[in-house]
A and B are shown apart, each in its own frame.
Chain A
Amino acid sequence: MGWFGLLTRDFLTLEDVSRGELKEVLDLARAYGAGAHAERPLADKTVCLAFFEASTRTAVSFELAARRAGADVISISEKGSAIEKGESLVDTVVTLDSLGADAIVVRHPAAGAARLAARHTGAAVINAGDGRGQHPTQALLDLYALSDRLGEFDELAGRKIAIVGDILHSRVARSVIPAFRAAGMELSLVAPDTLLPRESGAWGLPILPSVDDAIDWGADVLYTLRLQKERMTGARIPSVAEYARYYGVAERHLKSGVLVMHPGPVNRGVEISGGAVLSDSSLIPAQVASGVTVRQAVLALATGVAERMAA
């Protein structure tokens, strides 16, 4: 999870995350969820949200997390900012640094953007999604919601989770795969070859041909990914009907007791049926709800206030 600075700590990628690091974030998030954030741990801290790409739930979730924890929040996005005028990522980060940012939350359409930003500022950089690269806080809130449902973090170990859908284009997949793995879960991938990276074998995970096969495999959790609209036009997927038939989660799958997750926003009737979204098996609302406390924990660890507050 990035590296440890003296005072600040970046959250750029989960590629090499350890079980201990995950547990540290989730334990702190649980403390905030239980009311510790009322002590305003981020008071006197300035959190900048630099969103170079449209986002609703991630931006709102970070902003709420920072404000409720007492931080000053500066939010700049594409619309009505220097970003729209063509200011570069690096220049924006340098400007925010000069204004005294303690943490910069970056969302960008290109993989590696957060890492580049981190090289140009002393503030902690938190990756809020970069291209097809990483989306670390999504994976952390997923683990939070799932371990909550199962009882505790240790319950994750040994559970089977199938990641379903457009893995090729998904930054969420690139964060949840190492995170679920570090938590001790057993993983499989469910996707056609057109939606898998060519070297997907490098993950060393079984690749299953359908959600039905994932159920047969013994999945405890189906983690479905969003299929972008522009991918539904025949180039990689022949039709929504065929995609839904083999890669869509339907109510019939829930009989096995499997849990269903989705990072949102959901295409109902494509990757997941409306009934499955609303069922008791769905963790989707819990995932969204987990976002705020998990991001508070991340911001607190990033800005170096966590130890102070946890003490």
Chain B
Amino acid sequence: MTNARASVSDELVIRGAHLLDPASNLDSVSDVRLSAGRVTEVGKDLQGTRYLDADGLHLFPGFVDVHAHWRTPGREDEETIETGSAAAAAGGFTSVVMMPNTDPVVDKPVVVSGLVRRVENESRVRAYVSAALHEGLEGERLTEMRLLKEAGAFCVSDDGLGTQNAGVLRNAMLYAKSAHLPIILHCEDHTLATGVVHEGIAAALAGLPGSPGSAEDVATATALVLAAETGAKVHVTHVSTALSAALISFFKGRADVTADTTPHHLTLTDDLVSTLEGLYRVNPPLRPDEDRIGVGDALKSGILDFVATDHAPHAASEKDLPLEEAAPGFLGHETAFPALYTELVQSGKLSLSRLVEAMASAPGRWIGGGPYGISPGAPADLTLADLSDEWTVREDALVSRSSNSPYLGRKLATRIVGTMVGGELVHNGLGAKFGARA
């Protein structure tokens, strides 16, 4: 975790950027003054001791990703806290929630406290620990949620495996509620999810074993019914079907439920599996266009509250395989905003304001419990983007230790050029521009 190193008298003014902050209703060119790690003023012609010229750039509240796999502990060959947080910073993310399906699983207080300590020393961005909902993510015994929380866990999750037994899930919700821990749920019914891709036309033609949309929908319905009954605070992650989004819509107001979807489910479809390349295996799988559109509409309307990347690095040895044998998962941090801007905002399907809300304000509010944006007193967690700086996604352009991005080879229309956490620049794509006029 970064801390403001600047003294109180040090005042940085970011000048001339187009400020877009849905939480504060800001959408205009303004200056922002930062001091001691916080925003102190938003306005015109602000004075400071240092200046960052941001003419032509957009300034957003720092993006928040509630779903990332930094593979630590256990698979540091794929990602570490250092490289994962660098990738997050490169994608404009200032806060990230780390999922617990590591090796060992984050199911013991000592693992949580170890991660919290490592995050303090190794992460460029704010990183929150999600502990496991059940021991070993085996879906049987509850974890020591209250002790995990005391050790520093921010939430609990069954990500990667889901919870196959509804009775266990119900008790887990009741216990998490007692522990005042939000739950992030991976909704997948293993009796239905027996394939490696979506069970659709592409799978049929390619000869790949498919998992139907019901594998997600049935588990989502179960989770929502139980959330409504128990009153637990439940977040359904990586929603990928139109029906699951409709189910969530029904339960909004009946349960304390929020949901996210991923950049890849908003921009890619199962056509890609016809390549038979291991790179395109992901869970939940890429869906047909009807689902992509349905999920996109749900994000637009707010039924799906926000975007989370499910950043899932994998070694080349686990991806450069026949699709059926490849590990499921995509990199997400570095391409999230550029891909969504290119595919949805540029085509007029989603407003830039809603995209920023879905990447910053809404997940920021979910984590912090209050308004999240660029306002006096708020931490200076900020993202600077150049909306007209086209780049091509290539392995050597990625910061992550892995390179399994589904966008490899694609041209994206926009780039993140600066990311600040607590007023400190943790990703600098600005070069000499920064601090040039002290």
Residues of A participating in the B interface, judged by any CB pair closer than 8 Å: 192-194, 198, 209, 233-239, 241-242, 245-246
Contact = CB atoms under 8 A, between A and B. Distances in A.
Given A193-B174, A194-B142, A209-B178, 8 more contacts: A192-B175, A192-B179, A193-B178, A193-B230, A236-B175, A237-B142, A241-B144, A245-B146
B146 A194 contact: no
13 contacts: A192-B174, A193-B175, A193-B177, A234-B135, A234-B140, A235-B168, A236-B171, A237-B142, A241-B144, A241-B147, A242-B145, A242-B146, A242-B147
Nearest to A241: B144
Contacts of B175: 192-194, 236, 238
B261 interface: no
A198 B135 CA distance: 25
Contacts of A245: 146-147
Contacts, number: 47
Nearest to B107: A238
B315 to A, nearest CB: 33
A111 to B, nearest CB: 21
A193 B172 CA distance: 10
B143 interface: yes
Interface in B116-145: 135, 140-145
Which interface residue of A194, A198, A238, A246 has the most chain B CB atoms within 10 A? A238
A238 B142 contact: yes
Contacts of A242: 144-147
A234 B141 contact: yes
A198 B229 CA distance: 9
A194 B171 contact: yes
Contacts of A193: 174-175, 177-178, 230
Nearest to A245: B147
A195 B69 CA distance: 34
Contact of A238 (B141, B167, B177, B230): B141
Given A194-B171, A234-B135, A239 B178 contact: no
Contact of B142 (A209, A234, A241, A246): A234
A246 B146 contact: yes
Interface in B147-175: 147, 167-168, 171, 174-175
Contacts of B146: 242, 245-246
Given A234-B142, A236-B142, A192 B147 contact: no
Nearest to A193: B174
A203 B333 CA distance: 49
B108 to A, nearest CB: 10
B174 A235 contact: no
Contacts of B142: 194, 234-238
Interface in B366-388: none
Nearest to B175: A194
Contacts of B140: 234
Contacts of B229: 198
What are the nearest 7 A-B pairs in CB distance?
A234-B141, A193-B174, A192-B178, A242-B144, A238-B142, A238-B144, A194-B174
Contacts of A241: 144, 147
Contacts of A246: 146
B183 to A, nearest CB: 13
A236 B142 CA distance: 7
Contacts of A198: 229
Contacts of A237: 142
